[in-house]
């Protein structure tokens, strides 16, 4: 088993080593259970969140042992890089990689707890959507891209906001960092992850474009990219029969 602990949290080393056992016995408060499992713990007066990723199959065990960093390690390292670029995410505490027959089989990521909530209710589920939040969210994403930060799962449940409209990113194992601004084509594709082509999406795109100095032609191209993205998504869902969908315009 490999464990890496942030220097600021070395005093929790004994507890961190117990995390696999705590999950096995169902300790902690269950926050989410699906492909991955997320639990909340309070240790020495501090709230910590632990995400246990889905157990790797044999192919992924080989990949994450020899060719690519595990999701837990990427989450930890991406948190460090995000903060260096001036953006917030719950502070990294540790990551754990359990092995079986020399291969990485099960991984855990430990980070601080946040009271911030997903932007989805205020920008998607609420009618009309919160224009003030949409405005600052567009500015936030523009600042991410300008700083070379690409969150490859930038959906409205992975961006959290507090009462003062300050943002935090979660589920950060899938990210890419550029030396300069994110290329425009990548920005357009990244924006498609927000939601369907709704009034909120168009509002956000317009403010984002203003922040980035995009032209009307750029906005039109971003809309076309979005339309293609949504059509591909619907087609993929139809083919795989992974559930019902509702397209909102």
pLDDT of 211 above 50: yes
Query: What residue has token string 């989450």?
Result: 75
Q: What is the model's pTM?
A: 0.91
- Same domain membership, residue 92 and residue 139: no
What is the number of structural domains in the chain? 2
- For 9-30, letters b (16+ CB in 10 Å) and e give beebeebbeebeebbeeeebee
Q: What is the DSSP pairing of strand 159-161 with strand 117-118? A: antiparallel
112, 137, 161 — which closes off a domain? Answer: 112
112, 127, 154 — which closes off a domain? Answer: 112
- Same domain membership, residue 215 and residue 124: yes
pLDDT at 233: 84
Query: What residue has token string 């601080």?
Result: 112
Beta bridge partners of 177: 149
Domain with 87 in it: what CATH number? 3.30.200
pLDDT at 235: 83
Q: With pLDDT > 90 as the criterion, what percentage of the chain qualifies?
A: 92
Over residues 8-32, the pLDDT tens digits come to: 999 999 999 999 999 999 999 999 9
58, 83, 112 — which closes off a domain? Answer: 112
Over residues 148-171, the pLDDT tens digits come to: 999 999 999 999 999 999 999 999
Span 64-74, average pLDDT: 96
- Same domain membership, residue 84 and residue 122: no
- Same domain membership, residue 135 and residue 106: no
Span 208-227, average pLDDT: 98
- 183 CB contacts (<8 Å, ≥6 apart)? none
Which range marks the domain in which residue 223 is found?
117-240
């Amino acid at each position: 088993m490999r464990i890496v602990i942030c220097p600021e949290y070395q005093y929790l080393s004994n507890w961190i080593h117990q995390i696999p056992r705590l999950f096995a016995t169902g300790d902690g408060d269950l926050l989410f259970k699906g492909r991955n499992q997320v639990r909340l713990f309070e240790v020495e007066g501090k709230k910590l969140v632990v995400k246990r990723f889905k157990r790797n199959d044999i192919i992924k065990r080989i990949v994450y042992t020899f060719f690519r960093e595990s999701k837990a390690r990427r989450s930890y390292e991406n948190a460090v890089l995000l903060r260096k670029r001036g953006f917030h995410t719950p502070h990294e505490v540790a990551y754990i990689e359990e092995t079986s027959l020399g291969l990485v089989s099960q991984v855990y990521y430990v980070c601080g707890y946040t009271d911030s909530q997903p932007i989805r209710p205020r920008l998607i589920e609420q009618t009309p959507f919160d224009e003030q939040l949409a405005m600052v969210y567009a500015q936030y994403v523009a600042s991410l891209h300008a700083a070379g930060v690409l969150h490859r799962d930038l959906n409205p449940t992975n961006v959290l906001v507090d009462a003062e409209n300050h943002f935090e990113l979660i589920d950060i194992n899938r990210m890419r960092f550029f030396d300069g601004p994110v290329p425009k084509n990548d920005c357009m594709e990244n924006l498609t992850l927000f939601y369907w082509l709704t009034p909120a999406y168009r509002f956000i795109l317009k403010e984002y474009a203003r922040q980035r100095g995009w032209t009307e032609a750029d906005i039109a191209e971003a809309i076309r990219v979005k339309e293609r993205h949504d059509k591909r998504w619907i087609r993929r869902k139809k083919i795989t029969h992974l559930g019902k969908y509702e397209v909102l315009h």
